[in-house]
Structure 1
Amino acid sequence: MTKLTYNVLFICTGNSARSIMAEAILNQQGAGRFRAWSAGSHPAGAVNPYAIDLLERNRFKANDLRSKNWSEFATADAPHMDFVLTVCDKAAGEVCPVWPGQPMSAHWGVEDPAAVKGSDEVIHRAFNDCFMVLSRRIALLTVLPIEKLNKLALKQELAHIGQVKA
């Protein structure tokens, strides 16, 4: 039986940049096959303006994005997640909530562009680099033959995607 839409939750500590960008990218690139959300263990409360600017410049929808706590997705009435992907090392090391339905998880660590200090050019470059890595990984996810893989093979593929650079 083929599932029509796979739900994916991207996790990061602050949910202001990396996980937000991943949510926007997958919702656009995986439209119809994937539905993405993002959340953080300690959400910043606002989306980083560099992330919004980058998404809008690349014609991604950014108007509905918001920084959210991962507890929103650990309730019985939350969307059932098929995959939970951490995009920062801090979140990967934290004790995560028990996700309803026991989704498959993987770590896709990416350097935090929001932590970069320097000129606007340096910060923009960090956000662009992060965006490119996430875009490449998400492109690989969207073409993965999920229905044809057993759980172990799928887990290995997700882990492998997490190692891919731009």
Structure 2
Amino acid sequence: MTYNILFLCTGNSARSIIAEAVLNREAAGRFRAYSAGSAPKGEVNPHALALVESLGFAASDFRSKAWDEFARPGAPPLDFVITVCDNAAGEVCPVWPGRPVSAHWGIPDPAAVEGSQAQIAAAFAEAARQLGTRIRLFLSLPLETIDQLSLQTRLREIHERADAPGA
């Protein structure tokens, strides 16, 4: 079975794009990740594009898009919806097809970092590291044998323990 997961942030230009790429790379066909935003910027941040290209994807594989694309008839049924920014977590989301399990994994916005190119690149690398840690913990869950309520709890716990020592 392939699970569909949607990563959400406000602008869909950095964090959700990175999460989409990391999960699609790590999941080995077990998942199909997508990303979207509540108020998409219309373009992917160049630093995020460089990061996804370093994972082996083409920049053209990614675009900034609105979350309502995934609430329309014909959209893939979603198994999971994960917000990666605090703003999107507080917004009223569309009704998603498939009754997905949802969680919030707030990650600081690397696109908001000001400074040298090295400082900005470091912020993007840190966001990718944090998302990668959460995604690897997520991939270790026994999805086939866990009930939906327990799964909801485990997804929330991933965020809380992701950066703890030994995670």
TM-score range normalised by the length of the shorter chain: over 0.9
Instruction: Point out where structure 1 has 5 or more consecutive residues left out of the alignment.
Output: none
Paired residue secondary structure (1:81): coil
- In structure 2, what is the equivalent of residue 19 of structure 1? 16
Instruction: Point out where structure 2 has 5 or more consecutive residues left out of the alignment.
Output: none
Mapping of 1:92-107 within 5 angstroms? 92-107=89-104
TM superposition shift of 1:101:
2.0
Identity within the alignment, %:
58
Paired residue secondary structure (2:56): coil
Letter in 1 for 2:27: G
User: 1:60-89 deviations in whole A, cap 9, x for unaligned?
Assistant: 454310001001000121000000000000
- In structure 2, what is the equivalent of residue 146 of structure 1? 143
- In structure 2, what is the equivalent of residue 63 of structure 1? 60
Mapping of 1:147-162 within 5 angstroms? 147-162=144-159
Q: Find the partner of 2:38 among 34, 41, 51.
A: 41
Distance 2:95 2:55 in 1: 35
Runs ≥4 in structure 1, deviation > 4 angstroms? none
TM superposition shift of 1:159:
0.4
Paired residue secondary structure (2:60): coil
**2:51 corresponds to 1:54:** yes
Letter in 2 for 1:150: D
User: 1:93-139 deviations in whole A, cap 9, x for unaligned?
Assistant: 00100111211100010000001111111101100000000011111
- In structure 2, what is the equivalent of residue 6 of structure 1? 3
TM superposition shift of 1:57:
2.6
Letter in 2 for 1:130: A
Q: Conserved in 1, the CA contact under 8 Å of 2:41 and 2:64?
A: yes
Distance 1:100 1:57 in 2: 32
**Total equivalences in the alignment:** 163
- In structure 2, what is the equivalent of residue 88 of structure 1? 85
Task: Give RMSD over aligned pairs.
Answer: 1.2
Letter in 1 for 2:145: K
Paired residue secondary structure (2:23): helix
Paired residue secondary structure (1:42): coil
**2:25 corresponds to 1:28:** yes
With 155-164 and 109-118 compared, the bigger mean Cα shift is at 155-164
Q: Conserved in 1, the CA contact under 8 Å of 2:8 and 2:82?
A: yes
Q: Find the partner of 1:133 among 130, 135, 140.
A: 130
Distance 1:40 1:113 in 2: 16
Distance 1:86 1:113 in 2: 15
